[in-house]
Amino acid sequence: MTRDIDIDRVLERWLADGPSVMPERFFNSTLDRIDRTPQRRLGRALTRVATMNRSILYAAAAVVLIVGVGAAILSAPSSGVKTSPQPSPSASAVAGGVKAPLPAALTSRWVGPTRTVPAISPAPERSGLILSATSLRYDVGGANQHFFSLASASVPGQLSFSLSQEGDGCHIGQIGTYLYTLTPSGRGLTLTPVSDDCAARSASIAGDWNKAACGDPTGWCLGDLDPGTHVSTFFNPFTPLTAFQFSYGKLGYTVPAGWTNTEDGTSGYILAKQGAPDGAAIYVFQTAMADSQAADCPGTPEPGVGHSAADLAAWLGTLPGLQVTPPTDATIGGLHGKTLDVGLAPTWTHTCSFSEGKATVAMFTNGLQDGQNFDWGILAGSRMRLWLLDLPDGRTMLIDVEALDQATWDALVAEATPIVQTFTLTP
């Protein structure tokens, strides 16, 4: 999809047990180096990177980090961000003196609403709970983790946590005891405090959590979904990427059984049917602008095209390579705009250097450069149902229900359109 989604996870995995501070200039440089590949210009290739070949990107990121991170970190000034190294478990420090590993159903990353924890400064922007068989960590992103505790499940239905390092107003050895319940699917967890000597830990971990199980153990997307209503963790269309702010729950939606959330990032969000073919999904992008129609496919904004939903819908109708239905008014989640269906004209033959010899039309970019832009277009045979929605600051948000062949798209659009109509968007 975009670099913002994948690289954040790569860096989190590396940082979880490594150096605690990464200078912003190195972070941005790493993102830029990893993302400068020809495939990023093609929507379909970007989809494959995001959903199927994630491990390839991780490997590339690891190479870059191994080569450059030591010198960059040692030479950089402290960022002032409070971080904590992960302690080594001590068998004698387990809560209550009894060791019993946590059930396998609990050992995962869990995500939930951002907690208010006055003891943590700066205030958490997001909340993650990392449970292993013998430990707990409260994760607010990157290397910024708190309340490292040894974990035990010696009593059925109950967890005990023994703090294993000082910090955030709490002390080594302080015990917390919690009742826990799992939903029937095991995708939802509730922690109910019985007692906790560390009040800040209780404020951080008590309450409801959702399992983050989208294929990457350090990711924040949900993976397979229970039927019902869910919300995003990262995705926030209401601030531009240049001034992005994490805010839990900006996108809400309701799905039937059989759906999965494969990406949740700063630039976009993906929902797909479980087991769907490559490229068949609901894609949501926080910013869409007209992409250049120059023959060399530069990936820059097309001059002279406005940024509103109506401007973009009208412009798509002028592109010679597209077959476009007349745009109609639409309202999704309280945002107003246009909806239309798009296909590639069978006589269209233009290709780009990154389209693998297939006919293509570039359609959307986010207007950023230096490795931060995306290009979202259509290939021969593909079909799209688009919603272009006006945002309060003058940008346009894009929702795309898409598949790479007509038959798959016909089936998908019938099931996906009712889901899109459940979307809630909270400024």
Give the pLDDT of residue 57.
29
Give the pLDDT of residue 98.
57
Q: What is the pLDDT of residues 51-88, one digit of tens each?
A: 333 332 233 333 333 333 333 322 333 333 333 444 44
Q: Can you name the residues that pair with 42 across neighbouring β-strands? A: none
pLDDT at 161 over 50: yes
* Cα gap 173→132, rounded to integer Å: 19
Decide if 343 contacts 337 (C-beta within 8 A).
Answer: no
Higher pLDDT, 27 or 219: 219
pLDDT at 150 over 50: yes
Cβ-count burial 158-192 (b if 16+ within 10 Å, e if not)? ebbbbbbbebbebeeebbbbbebeeeeeebbbebe
Quickly state the pLDDT bin for 197 (edges 50, 70, 90).
very high
Percent of the chain past pLDDT 70, that is, above it, reads: 76
Longest dimension (CA), the chain: 74
All CATH 2.40.128 domain ranges in the chain, comma separated: 91-212
Give the CATH number of domain 91-212. Answer: 2.40.128
Give the pLDDT of residue 71.
31
Q: What is the pLDDT of residues 223-278, one digit of tens each?
A: 999 999 999 999 999 999 989 888 999 999 999 999 999 999 999 999 999 999 99
Q: What is the pLDDT of residues 9-52, one digit of tens each?
A: 443 444 344 333 333 333 333 333 323 233 333 343 333 333 33
Average pLDDT, stretch 88-116?
76
Q: Can you name the residues that pair with 129 across neighbouring β-strands? A: 110, 138
Query: What's at 34, amino acid-wise?
Result: I
Higher pLDDT, 61 or 184: 184
pLDDT at 413 over 90: yes
* Cα gap 389→331, rounded to integer Å: 8
Q: What is the pLDDT of residues 345-380, one digit of tens each?
A: 999 999 998 888 999 999 999 988 766 777 899 999
Least confident of 5-19, 159-173, 411-425: 5-19
8-state DSSP, 267: S
Average pLDDT, stretch 149-172?
96
Could you give the 3-state DSSP secondary structure of residue 24? Answer: helix
Tell me which H or E stretch contains 421.
none
Average pLDDT, stretch 109-136?
94
Q: What is the pLDDT of residues 376-410, one digit of tens each?
A: 999 999 999 999 999 999 999 999 999 999 999 99
